Amino acid sequence: MKDKLEHLIDKHIMDIIEFRRDLHQYPELGMEEVRTSARVAEELKKLDLEVQTGIGKMGVVGLLKGNTDGRTILLRADMDALPLEEETDLSFKSKNPGLMHACGHDVHTSILLGAAKVLSEVKEHINGNIKFVFQPAEEASPTGGARYMIEDGVLENPKVDAALALHVWNLPLGKVGLKPGPIMAQSDRIFIKVKGSSSHASQPQNGIDAIVASGYIITALQTIVSRNVDPMESAVITIGKINGGTRYNVISDTVSMEGTVRIFDPKVADMMPKRIMEIVKNVSLALGCECEVEYVKGYSLLANDEKLTFEVANSLREAIGEDNVIIAEKPASGGEDFSAFTNIVPSVYFWLGMVSELNKDKCTIHNPNLIVDEGCIPIGIKAMVYSAINFLNK
C-alpha cells in the first residue's frame, strides 16, 4: 500500500502543481471565490465522488464512500486570498489587481485536491467515508466561512467523526508541526470610547479630561494580564489605535481606542470581556467620564483533540519519517476559523513546513513577497492521505 500511495502521488503531482499555479494567478477574496470553487468542483467531478457546491455560499464538498461502512473523516482546505498587491516576480504571479494568495490557501486547496485524487484511486481499501471540504472566507474574521458550511450541514450526512486541516508554516520544508490542546489563539477585538467635556487647557477644573482618563484605562487594562491571568497561562491585550483631542490647549472631550485580545485558555476567555468592561467602566466613572465599550468575539480558540493528535502524529511519522514530526511546545498567536470545526468534532490542525533555500527570506504569510516552496505540496498530500486512511482503517 505504501508503494502504491507513493506512486499515485508521483502520478498526480505535476497536474496538482499546475492547478496550484492556476489558482495563484486568479486569487479571490472570501465569499467571492466564484472561479476557485468552480475549478475545484470541475476537478472533483472527474473523480468518483459525490460533489456538492454552494455549501456555505461558496464552499464545495466531495464525498468519497469507501469499500465498507465506517467512520467519516473531514479534510478541510481554505480557498480565499487577501487584498494585497503581489510583489514577487513569479512567472505565475497574480493577474487579479490588488489580490494575492498571500496566506498559501491556493496551496492548501491544491493539496486537498491531490489527496482526493490519490484516495479515490484506493477507495476499495478504505472503510468509511472521507469528506473533502473546500471552505470559503477563512480570512473573513469575525464571521469566517467555516460556520456557514456547518450551518449548511457539512458535519452531517454522513455524520463527521473527526476533522483535519493543515496550514503552510514557517518551518523547514519536509517538517510538520503540531501540538495537543490549544494550537491557535482566540482572537477578539475591543472598541472603547471615553467621553468627558472640553474646556480651556489652562482651566482643567471646568472640563473633564478624556485623555487623562484614557491613560489610566490603558494602564489598568494591562493589569488583567499581570494580575488576573494565571502566571502559568498567557494572554495579550494591545491597544493599537487611539484618537483624541483637537488642539494642544484644549481639554479633549472624546477619545476612541481600538485593540486586540489574544487568548489561549478557555478560563481566560470567560474572564476577559468581563474584566475589560469592569475596568473601562469603573475607571471612567472614577474620573468623571462616560464610556462605551464593545467586545467583539473573533475566531474562538483552536484546540486539537489530545487523543486524535497522538494518532495523527503517528500517521505523520509513518508518512514522512519520525524525525520530521515536531511536537510544538507553544501555540501560535494567530487566529484560524477551523476552530468552528474543532468546537464540535475531535479535530487536528497541523503546520506544514515550507521554508527552504529557495524562499528563506520570503516565507512570511500575509506579506506581498510570500513564496511557498512547492516541495511542500506532495508532503501535504502524503500527510493528509496517511492520516485519513489510518483513522478510518484502524
**What single string gives the DSSP state of each residue in 26-48?**
S---TT--HHHHHHHHHHHHTSS
> Quick one: which of 103, 184, 237, 352 contacts Zn ion (CB under 5 A)?
103
Q: Write the CB contacts of 379 (distance below 8 Å, at least 6 apart in sequence).
A: 173, 174, 176, 320, 352, 353
Closer Cβ to Zn ion, 20 or 71, answer by number:
20
Closer Cβ to Zn ion, 289 or 370, answer by number:
370
Phi then psi dihedrals of residue 269, to 5 deg: -60, -35
Q: What's the chain's Rg over C-alpha atoms?
A: 24
d(CA 183, CA 164): 13
Binding part of the chain for Zn ion, among 96-104, 295-303, 342-350, 373-381 by CB under 5 A, reads 96-104
Phi then psi dihedrals of residue 167, to 5 deg: -140, 135
Binding part of the chain for Zn ion, among 30-38, 98-106, 311-319, 347-355 by CB under 5 A, reads 98-106
- Min. distance of Cβ 167 from Zn ion in angstroms? 6
What one-character DSSP code corresponds to residue 173? Answer: T
Question: Over the range 326-354, which residues count as b (16 or more CB within 10 Å of their CB) and which as e?
Answer: beeeebbeebbbbbbbbeebbbbbbbbbb
Contact 43, 107 (CB under 8 A): no
Closer Cβ to Zn ion, 145 or 182, answer by number:
145
Contact 183, 305 (CB under 8 A): no
Helix axes 2-25, 376-393, angle to 10 degrees: 130
Closer Cβ to Zn ion, 351 or 391, answer by number:
351
For residue 276, count other CB atoms closer than 10 A to its CB. Answer: 22
Task: List the interface residues with Zn ion, window 286-305 (CB under 5 A).
Answer: none
Binding part of the chain for Zn ion, among 3-11, 101-109, 119-127, 242-250 by CB under 5 A, reads 101-109
Question: How many residues belong to the site for Zn ion (CB under 5 A)?
Answer: 1
- Min. distance of Cβ 338 from Zn ion in angstroms? 10
- Min. distance of Cβ 173 from Zn ion in angstroms? 18
Our measurement of the distance from residue 13's CA atom to the centroid of its chain's CA atoms, rounded to an integer in Å, reads 25
Closer Cβ to Zn ion, 106 or 305, answer by number:
106
- Min. distance of Cβ 237 from Zn ion in angstroms? 24
Binding part of the chain for Zn ion, among 14-22, 103-111, 305-313, 326-334 by CB under 5 A, reads 103-111
- Min. distance of Cβ 88 from Zn ion in angstroms? 17
Binding mask 54-93 for Zn ion (x = CB under 5 A): ----------------------------------------
Binding mask 219-248 for Zn ion (x = CB under 5 A): ------------------------------
Closer Cβ to Zn ion, 102 or 392, answer by number:
102
- Min. distance of Cβ 101 from Zn ion in angstroms? 10
- Min. distance of Cβ 105 from Zn ion in angstroms? 6
Single-letter amino acid, residue 168:
V
What one-character DSSP code corresponds to residue 208? Answer: B
- Min. distance of Cβ 169 from Zn ion in angstroms? 10
Phi then psi dihedrals of residue 232, to 5 deg: -85, -10
What one-character DSSP code corresponds to residue 248? Answer: T
- Min. distance of Cβ 138 from Zn ion in angstroms? 6
Binding part of the chain for Zn ion, among 100-108, 112-120, 190-198, 297-305 by CB under 5 A, reads 100-108
Residue found under cell 456547518: 150
Closer Cβ to Zn ion, 139 or 161, answer by number:
139
The contact set with Zn ion (CB under 5 A) reads: 103
